[in-house]
């Protein structure tokens, strides 16, 4: 069922009932807050996702559903990264932007899995608006899933990796329902950034996800599984603070604000650079039986993967960590070498290639190599049965000090530079021509499997996305960090 044009709102039939969306600028039909699973409340708070209840009549799909319960970003990051909060625990919903909400249109589909360190973010972030994808002939789906202790806390009496199980349930919904919105379930590309890319690495290894997507895009995140003790420590920290046993049953009985307050306290000593206990994916016989990195190396799914040239600047610059590491000088570089698992020869080579780089940038680059670039290069350079395309995003933010930092490419991929929230991270001078190029590459990849450059063969540089330096960067004389 669908309606098109005129004064009628678009409708589409799902396996659980009819939803009514809105026509928006550019002619896209948008359906927001569509349930793909039952609300994770009460006894379902730490359970695997369950199918949603069917409804009679027409369900309004004009507004985003509740965002997954989460703790806010610290102020330094909240000034750069939009993360709206929509109250409620009925958070297992998705959104669809489509240029043609009619069965039989058979358009390519892209499913967005947001980042946020498995603890923050949502599909309601304005930068993730799917209008440009719909404008260019792609059905865009964005997904909410459980975060933090609700999605990734490790308990003896609950399934592991619940956030991943939510994502799989959403992809199963796409398989079963997207044709009613004009999409082709046989041409689904999943894409995600940071923790979203890590999640896609897990989807490549999860048996239940096999066959649910044809291609994948990993932006600034590599497949990984954390040691179980590293994740379990977060739950134990919370349990000690809450004075309850470290079990799902005990946590289920607590009010949500108390859980989130304890989670926020438990997270304070963890960071991408420092490491330590964290919420994240773990290998698990029932959900993720194989190491995600090894699974990606062997996967037959075509992959588009890449990073920004100065990933670490987002982790270090807003907090003053860069200034601290610069004061530490050689100690900072030694820490970067240790955390990055690099030998002295690698550090000497990097210094030779980047003679003007600061100790903070050198240490951050070494850590980002280990977390992101090295594993993605390993996947792309393997003799996989499917092609791997690599890219590097080099354009420096107009916010002095950020450079080509983590998450900066998102406004370009979604072609949402005109939104105020994009300028929080990119500054005022982001080049639309670069967004045209990058967004166009993602559309081509979803449509044809070819983003517009050759697959990586293990030699030479990746595809570079770059543009003119913003005036603010030139005025501040920020030295760009360029990969060797």
**SS3 state at 56:** coil
Residues in the chain: 484
Give me the phi and psi of 174, to 5 degrees please.
-60, -45
Name the catalytic one among 406, 409, 422, 439: 406
DSSP state of 242: H
85-112 as b/e, with b when 16 or more CB fall inside 10 Å?
ebeebbbbbbbbbbbbbbeebbbbbbbb
Alpha-carbon distance of 121 to 85, in angstroms, equals 9
- Is 114 an active-site residue? no
220 is catalytic: no
**Whether residue 409 lies in the annotated active site:** no
From 122, 194, 358, 388, active-site residue: 194
Q: Could you tell me the two tokens for 376?
A: 């993605």
The catalytic position among 193, 252, 311, 409 is 311
d(CA 359, CA 338): 14
- How many alpha carbons lie under 13 Å from residue 13 in its C-beta half-sphere? 6
What is the DSSP annotation of 398-459?
SSTT--S-TTTTHHHHTT-TTSHHHHHHH-TT--HHHHHHHHHHHHHHHHHS--SSPPP-SS
Which one-letter DSSP state was computed for residue 102? Answer: S
Query: Which residues are known catalytic residues?
Result: 194, 311, 406
């Amino acid at each position: 069922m669908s309606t098109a044009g005129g004064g009628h709102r678009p409708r589409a039939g799902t396996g659980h009932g009819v939803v009514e969306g809105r026509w928006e600028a550019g002619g896209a039909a948008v359906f927001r807050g569509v349930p793909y699973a039952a609300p994770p409340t009460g006894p379902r708070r730490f359970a695997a996702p369950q199918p949603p209840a069917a409804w009679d009549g027409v369900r309004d799909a004009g507004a985003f559903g509740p965002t997954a319960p989460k703790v806010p970003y610290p102020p330094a990051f909240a000034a750069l990264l939009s993360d709206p909060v929509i109250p409620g625990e009925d958070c297992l919903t998705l959104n669809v932007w489509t240029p043609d909400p009619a069965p039989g249109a058979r358009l390519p589909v892209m499913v967005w899995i947001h980042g946020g360190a498995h603890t923050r973010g949502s599909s309601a972030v304005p930068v993730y608006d799917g209008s440009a994808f719909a404008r260019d002939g792609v059905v865009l789906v964005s997904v909410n899933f459980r975060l933090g202790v609700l999605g990734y806390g490790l308990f003896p009496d609950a399934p592991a990796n619940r956030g991943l199980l939510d994502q799989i349930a959403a992809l199963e919904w796409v398989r079963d329902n997207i044709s009613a919105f004009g999409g082709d379930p046989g041409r689904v590309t999943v894409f995600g950034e940071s923790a979203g890319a890590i999640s896609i690495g897990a989807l490549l290894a999860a048996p239940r996800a096999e066959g649910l997507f044809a291609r994948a895009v990993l932006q600034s995140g590599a497949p990984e599984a954390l040691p179980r003790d590293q994740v379990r420590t977060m739950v134990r920290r919370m349990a000690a603070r809450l004075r309850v046993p470290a079990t799902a049953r005990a946590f289920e009985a607590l009010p949500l604000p108390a859980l989130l307050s304890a989670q926020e306290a438990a997270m304070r000593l963890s960071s991408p650079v420092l490491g330590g206990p964290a919420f994240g994916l773990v290998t698990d016989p029932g959900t993720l039986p194989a190491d995600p990195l090894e699974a990606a190396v062997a996967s037959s799914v075509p992959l588009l993967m890449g990073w920004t040239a100065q990933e670490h600047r987002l982790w270090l610059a807003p907090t003053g960590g860069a200034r601290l590491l610069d004061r530490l000088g050689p100690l900072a570089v030694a820490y970067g070498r240790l955390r990055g698992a690099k030998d002295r020869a690698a550090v000497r080579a990097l210094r030779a290639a980047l003679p003007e780089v600061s100790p903070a940038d050198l240490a951050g680059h070494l850590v980002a190599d280990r977390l992101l670039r090295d594993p993605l290069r390993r996947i792309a350079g393997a003799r996989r049965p499917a092609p791997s395309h690599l890219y590097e995003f080099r354009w420096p933010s107009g916010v002095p000090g950020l450079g080509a930092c983590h998450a900066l490419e998102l406004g370009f991929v979604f072609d949402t530079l005109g939104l105020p929230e994009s300028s929080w991270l990119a500054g005022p001078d982001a080049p639309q021509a670069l967004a045209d190029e990058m967004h166009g590459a993602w559309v081509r990849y979803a449509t044809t499997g070819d983003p517009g450059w050759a697959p990586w063969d293990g030699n030479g540089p990746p595809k570079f996305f770059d543009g003119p330096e913003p005036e603010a960067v030139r005025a501040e004389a920020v030295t760009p960090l360029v990969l060797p």
